[in-house]
Amino acid sequence: MSQAASLFQKHEALLNDAVEAIQSRKFYTPYPEHPKAYGETGDEEGKTAFAKQMNEDFTELLQEGASGSVGDEVSPYLQLGLGVRYPSFTTTQLIEKAKGSSKVWAALSVQERAGILIESLEKVKSRFFEIAYATMHTTGQSFIMSFQASGPHANDRALEAITMGYMELTRFPQEVEWVKPMGKFDIKVDKNWKAIPKGISLVIGCSTFPTWNTVPGMYASLITGNPVIVKPHPKAILPIAIVIAELQKVLKEAGLPAEICQLAADASSAPITKELAEHPEVKLIDFTGSNVFGDYVESLPGKTVFTEKAGVNSCLIDSVKDITPVIQNISFAVSLYSGQMCTAPQNIFVSAEGVKTAEGHLSYEEVVKAISEGISGIAQHPKMGAGTLGGIQAEATYNRVQTAAGKGGKTLLASEKIANPEFENARVASPTLIELNADQKDIYQSECFGPIVYVIKTKNAEESLQLMKESAASKGAITCAAYTTDENLMGKIEDEMNSVFTPVSFNFTGAIFVNQHAAFSDFHVTGGNPAGNASFTNPDFINRRFVWVGNRWVN
């Protein structure tokens, strides 16, 4: 039995559980999100491993023939360069290595590929803490968010992609004897069907979620038989480099070329993304990032493209049972990781009529004051403020927050620098809250990435809904939050927002937030509006990576 086949046997039960989870859409994870599930010494070992890697060459990749080295990552907490240097390769080198490994990878059965890929996730699991510190010091996420997002949650999404690929590739029989009765005789034709991979896959990573946003496309292409080149953001390489290194080790142990999945690190001063994306041998592209570059990727001829771009996420407050937990939930949602999440709310719509509660009516002014106090209360909290906000990943984002008030509107809450007791040089800014009128669409119907929140005063809930729908249709939206106790309005919000392919989260309070999407249950991005053309992880995310080809013969 081959190493790949034995790995499938090793992980078959887990794969079957994941198949059941995808079909039932219930809670499932083989990777608990709490750090305590991964040993008492894991944290210290991970921190030490990360510290040792700083100012050193990253030597774990099994890619030969580097043309040089690159590395310009900067910690948002330390405001210092990490000093990690990665091997760099020319586009020609990367493409030729991918081509050279493509046939042997495509020749494996989906079962063999699944076994290898799941084994790589098990290896990655042993390095969750190290990946967490790498994520923390490249993205600005807090430690716990870095651990969860780049560790267990990323593994969940990777396993989901593997599982969906396994399901789609085993949907039909590989071969069959086809018999057509013709009366006195039968026509017999032997048939087989092959899932032919489309070719080299390029996965372009982002700076804020370097593994969570990268592994779905990476593993979706791999399970369907395509070699992959991962081009991370130059400011967030280390987390995904560790993941790829572990996968390459598993590939090598199975007697396969490590170059089935390659890291293509580059520097901000000498990017290679467009050169790779435009190369005729690259057939698949996954992209997470800005609208401008996403539109460019989508415009490339001859490519199958999967994008997650920017959207403008909204929140409507109409009526509630108790305003206090609602304000707490919204305030946390807009503050978490300083709004640097593609799922974070930006626009909060409140009617001039105010908000109904179980204990009476609140005026518009009272609601807006509560929102302002709620956001400020989190940012200024001595224990949870800095941890919730994390760090601002990019200087451009920090500058955008400082100038947001100058675009118009009334500043209700100015952004302030927040001290992080652990890192005195951390780049941290509290959210700014700006009041706008409904007709100031030129401001609030554009994504303002970072801790910038708009509260928009409307005539009534109907106008709020119309503006949210209009924004989602024209600018895109990944999430939408709504608070109402009116079942008729709830149904209307659901129908109207769903019609522009935007999911709605109703009446969230407590420990569940609109920002969060759960693997095996929630589809991340619908692919139906300008926020992106793909979804983690529906069948389309898999099926566009290969082509079914059938053959027939008569004996």
Query: Euclidean distance between the first and final Cα of the chain, in Å?
Result: 32
Confidence at residue 448, expressed as pLDDT on a 0 to 100 scale: 92
Side-chain-facing half-sphere of 159: CA atoms under 13 Å: 32
pLDDT digits (tens, 9 = 90+) for 62-109: 999 999 999 999 999 999 999 999 999 999 999 999 999 999 999 999
Backbone angles phi, psi at 314, to 5 degrees: -120, 160
Residue 1 has pLDDT above 70, yes or no: no
Q: What is the CATH number of domain 3-20+62-173+196-307+534-553?
A: 3.40.605.10
What is the full DSSP assignment across 100-165? Answer: HHHHHHHHS-HHHHHHHHHHHHHHHHTTHHHHHHHHHHHH---HHHHHHHHTHHHHHHHHHHHHHH
* Token output for 216: 């779905």
Query: Burial letters for 488-517: b for 16+ Cβ neighbours within 10 Å, e otherwise?
Result: ebbeebeebbeebbbbbbebbbeeebbbbb
What's the average model confidence in pLDDT over 164-189?
Answer: 96
Residue 162 has pLDDT above 90, yes or no: yes
Confidence at residue 3, expressed as pLDDT on a 0 to 100 scale: 86
Confidence at residue 496, expressed as pLDDT on a 0 to 100 scale: 98
Residue 279 has pLDDT above 90, yes or no: yes
Residue 179 has pLDDT above 70, yes or no: yes
| Token pair 């659901």 in the structure block, residue | 494
Confidence at residue 4, expressed as pLDDT on a 0 to 100 scale: 85
- pLDDT-derived band of residue 358, with 50, 70 and 90 as boundaries? very high
- Percent of the chain clearing pLDDT 90 (strictly above): 98
* Token output for 119: 């084994």
Q: What is the DSSP letter of 488?
A: H
Alpha carbon distance 147, 373 (integer Å): 29
Mean pLDDT of the residues in the chain: 97
Indicate the domain borders of the chain.
Answer: 3-20+62-173+196-307+534-553, 314-506
Confidence at residue 192, expressed as pLDDT on a 0 to 100 scale: 97
Q: Which amino acid is at 485?
A: T
Alpha carbon distance 529, 522 (integer Å): 17
pLDDT digits (tens, 9 = 90+) for 419-456: 999 999 999 999 999 999 999 999 999 999 999 999 99
Residues 6+ apart with CB under 8 A from 128: 35, 38, 42, 46, 147, 150, 151, 152
Confidence at residue 5, expressed as pLDDT on a 0 to 100 scale: 86
Task: Give the distance, in angstroms, between the CA of residue 381 and the centroid of all CA atoms in the same chain.
Answer: 29
pLDDT digits (tens, 9 = 90+) for 4-40: 889 999 999 999 999 999 999 999 999 999 999 999 9
- Percent of the chain clearing pLDDT 70 (strictly above): 100
Please work out, in degrees rounded to the nearest 5, the angle formed at the alpha carbon of residue 421 by the alpha carbons of 417 and 426. Answer: 50
Residue 475 has pLDDT above 90, yes or no: yes
Alpha carbon distance 337, 140 (integer Å): 8
What's the average model confidence in pLDDT over 502-529?
Answer: 97
Alpha carbon distance 347, 368 (integer Å): 13
Containing 348, the helix (H) or strand (E) segment is strand 347-351
Residue 43 has pLDDT above 80, yes or no: yes
Q: How far is CA 441 from CA 139, 347, 401, 412, 454, in A?
A: 30, 11, 19, 18, 11
Residue 301 has pLDDT above 70, yes or no: yes
What's the average model confidence in pLDDT over 169-195?
Answer: 96
Please work out, in degrees rounded to the nearest 5, the angle formed at the alpha carbon of residue 398 by the alpha carbons of 239 and 419. Answer: 85
CA-based max dimension of the chain: 88
Containing 548, the helix (H) or strand (E) segment is strand 546-553
**CA-CA-CA-CA dihedral for 49, 51, 56, 57, to nearest 10:** 40
Residue 60 has pLDDT above 70, yes or no: yes
Confidence at residue 174, expressed as pLDDT on a 0 to 100 scale: 94
pLDDT digits (tens, 9 = 90+) for 98-149: 999 999 999 999 999 999 999 999 999 999 999 999 999 999 999 999 999 9
Residue 152 has pLDDT above 90, yes or no: yes
Alpha carbon distance 345, 390 (integer Å): 17
Alpha carbon distance 262, 63 (integer Å): 7
Residue 366 has pLDDT above 80, yes or no: yes
Alpha carbon distance 469, 134 (integer Å): 38
Confidence at residue 472, expressed as pLDDT on a 0 to 100 scale: 97
CATH number among 3.40.47.10, 3.40.309.10, 3.60.21.10, 3.40.1790.10, domain 314-506: 3.40.309.10
Alpha carbon distance 221, 1 (integer Å): 25
